[in-house]
Amino acid sequence: MDDPRRTADPLSTNPSIFLRLNRTERTPRELAWAEFRARYAPVIAAFAKRFGVTSHDADDVVQDVILGFYAKSPTFVYEPARGRFRSYLKACTIHALQKRAGAARAKKTVPLGELDPAAPEAERAWDDLWSQQLLRRALEQTKAQYNDRDTFRAFMLTAIDGKSPADAAAQLGMTLASVYKARARVTEAVRARLDVLSAEEG
């Protein structure tokens, strides 16, 4: 099996995705925007919901952030030395939440919820959700490496679902030693993927 640290798709890096967002060719540009939305919309929506925003309003917040970045993308340059993109995206999300909350109060409509995204816990919430999203992507990418599905399932059952190795072995028809070996191999691969993704996302 190839080392995921060497086989990570170079097109998945942030500098590359930002370049592709502004390609003149329509299809590559649209694919890049679809990838951008798939990558970041779950974090934005989950962050909004963490502060009491409804699912409908969370979708609107995602739209506001994506459209806002779309407007700025022609002049946006990703420079890791100037700060992490995750921090920039969090600031954009907080701004969108505050703008909608202010508009709701001004119109005397139903408020978005008890919302204080600038509070210290907002940073912890954002980091927690960001980490969850990275783990989800790392799991998806790692799963794609394995032709033997039972190897990955043994890892998921024991490391993620909390089953004992003995129960997993019985469920999958594997030996106990094989389950332990599978969990160790996949755990190492997931950690490698997380290292790659963390370096890319900043």
Examine the pLDDT at 9 and tell me if it is beyond 50. Answer: no
Q: Is 75 exposed, middle or buried (0-12, 13-18, 19+ CB in 10 A)?
A: exposed
CA gap 182, 95 in Å, rounded: 44
Nearest to 148 by CA among 123, 185, 202: 185
What local confidence, expressed as pLDDT, does residue 62 receive?
94
Name the CA radius of gyration of the chain, rounded. Answer: 20
Among the residue ranges 28-37, 72-81, 88-97, the one predicted with the least confidence is 72-81
Q: Across 22-36, 44-58, 101-115, 183-197, which has the greatest mean pLDDT?
A: 183-197
Among the residue ranges 17-31, 38-52, 74-88, the one predicted with the least confidence is 74-88
Residue 2 near residue 147, CB atoms below 8 Å: no
- Higher local confidence (pLDDT), 80 or 114: 80
What local confidence, expressed as pLDDT, does residue 63 receive?
93
Residue 186 near residue 142, CB atoms below 8 Å: yes
Residue 202 near residue 170, CB atoms below 8 Å: no
What local confidence, expressed as pLDDT, does residue 124 receive?
87
- Higher local confidence (pLDDT), 119 or 185: 185
Residue 78 region, left (φ>0) first, then alpha (ψ -120 to 50), else beta?
Answer: beta
Among the residue ranges 35-44, 65-74, 94-103, the one predicted with the least confidence is 94-103
Question: What's the CA dihedral at 112, 113, 114, 119 to 10 degrees?
Answer: -50
CA gap 13, 108 in Å, rounded: 43
Mean pLDDT of 160-176: 96
Q: What is the pLDDT of residues 88-139, one digit of tens each?
A: 888 889 888 888 776 555 554 444 555 565 677 788 889 899 999 999 999 9
Q: What is the pTM of this model?
A: 0.71
Nearest to 72 by CA among 84, 57, 88, 52: 88
Nearest to 57 by CA among 108, 133, 110: 110
- Higher local confidence (pLDDT), 84 or 174: 174
Give residue 36's identity as a one-letter amino acid code.
F
Give residue 130's identity as a one-letter amino acid code.
W
Give residue 148's identity as a one-letter amino acid code.
D
Rounded mean pLDDT of the chain?
81
